[in-house]
Amino acid sequence: MTDSLYLLPAVDIQGGQAVQLTQGIAGSEKVFGDPLAAALRWQDAGAQWLHLVDLDAAFGRGSNAERIAEITARLSLNVELSGGIRDDASLERALATGCRRVNIGTAALENPAWCERIIAEHGDRIGIAIDVRGSRLAARGWVREGGDWAEAVRRLSDAGCRTFVVTDVQSDGMLTGPNLDLLRRVCALTDAEVIASGGIASLDDLRALRTLVPLGVTGAIIGTALYVGNFTLAEALDVAGR
């Protein structure tokens, strides 16, 4: 068993542009330009995975699926796609972009039976996004509040979910450090791989996450810290053991 983390640089797409939100709040975005250029930059720097988010789909105001398919076709790395996947049609559209895995968020709260069915059908191409605010799940666009996150992890783990992407909403985009306690608690409930998302600000944060690899944390999504230059992806990959 390796003690290394795999890293997923994040590219959030809104209106065809790469942006970064603060705590998932619409209107808080900083614009970083062409998402393909960003994706190729992370690929060239050594990334083996990319975390793509369709923010327009997530907020229910459109889709960047065609743009995402164009980006995915130009990449040789694995793409994890999130945003607005709530039913068979949006799932089919997301899988058709050529991504390796899709993350299901809001639907996991609103329709767990559907999530169980698609996990059975698609196996490890389905990941479940566990977005947590306090002890509760944050729902659509992180605006509403859902049920108990531990119950969702148990149920979907029992259904065969292989990957949980865990975000502490209050730390996302804030550069305040990952919620290590939350990650430990999720790992204690499942044998699935757990990917940390939100709050990573420094190389020391990655070192701390790496201590959780034996518990089940296998990867980390990094966004804001890369875009504002807190460290380079090469430095991060070195610390992560990749």
How far does Cα 56 stand from its chain's mean position? 16
Rounded Cα distance, 144 and 198, in Å: 18
Query: Beta strand pairing status for 17-20 and 30-33?
Result: antiparallel
What would the two tokens of residue 219 be? 């990867």
CA angle centred on 239, ends 235 and 242, rounded to 5° = 90
SS3 at position 67: helix
Instruction: Give how far Cα 123 sits from Cα of 38, 41, 65, Å.
Output: 29, 30, 22
Catalytic sites, residue numbers: 12, 131
Cα separation, 151 vs 186, in Å, equals 10
CB-neighbour burial class of residue 159 (10 A; exposed 0-12, middle 13-18, buried 19+): middle
- What is the length of the chain? 242
For residue 165, the SS3 value is strand
Which residues, in sequence order, are CB contacts of 3 under 8 Å at separation 6+?
Answer: 210, 213, 214, 241
Only one residue has tokens 């793409």, namely 79
